[in-house]
Amino acid sequence: DVELATSPRDLIANWHIHTAKWLYDYVYLPAAAGKKPGFRATFFTNLTSAFWHGFRWGYYVTFSSIAFTVLTWRILRRKLYYPISRINPTLSRIVGIVLTQFFGCTILMPFILLGWKESLFYLRQVYYAPQIVLIVLFVIGISLPVFK
């Protein structure tokens, strides 16, 4: 399920199932405080995961990027993915896999590099493409109407 995850949330949830379950039960749900979980719960869960991993900058860059990626994907899923999946389920699955793997491969690099300088060097080398694409997709997502 990690290699063919169709969303960033699925990728994270299946990466380390027991840790993801613990974070969901003990951080994500309590951070929602009885409301529908949103960005705040996602951000605190990812911040906790970064803290859990250690005190290297790469963890915090990666996990804050993951929180924003999951938020963007939620918006796009509601506004584009579901309507497209009604028309062509195979196409929506392929697009989901490709986007998830792109963001998984590019956003996880600071996690591997760990250092702040190394992470910034990597991001400069790819011209901040993952973050720019993510921001563009977020803006597109929030500006689109919800298709019925």
pLDDT (tens digit, 9 = 90+) per residue, 31-83? Answer: 887 777 788 888 999 899 999 999 999 999 888 888 888 888 888 888 887 77
Count the neighbouring beta carbons within 10 Å of the beta carbon of residue 46. Answer: 25
Please name the residue that has the structure tokens 């690099």: 109
Among 54, 27, 68, which Cα is nearest to 111's?
Answer: 54
Q: What is the dihedral of CA 5, 102, 54, 124, to 10 degrees?
A: -170
Q: Enter the pTM of the model.
A: 0.79
pLDDT at 1 over 70: no
pLDDT at residue 35 in the model: 79
Query: Which region holds residue 75: left if phi is over 0, alpha if psi is between -120 and 50, else beta?
Result: alpha
The chain-wide mean pLDDT, for the chain, equals 85
Per-residue confidence (pLDDT) for residue 148, from 0 to 100: 65
Closest Cα to residue 99, out of 83, 76, 125? Answer: 76
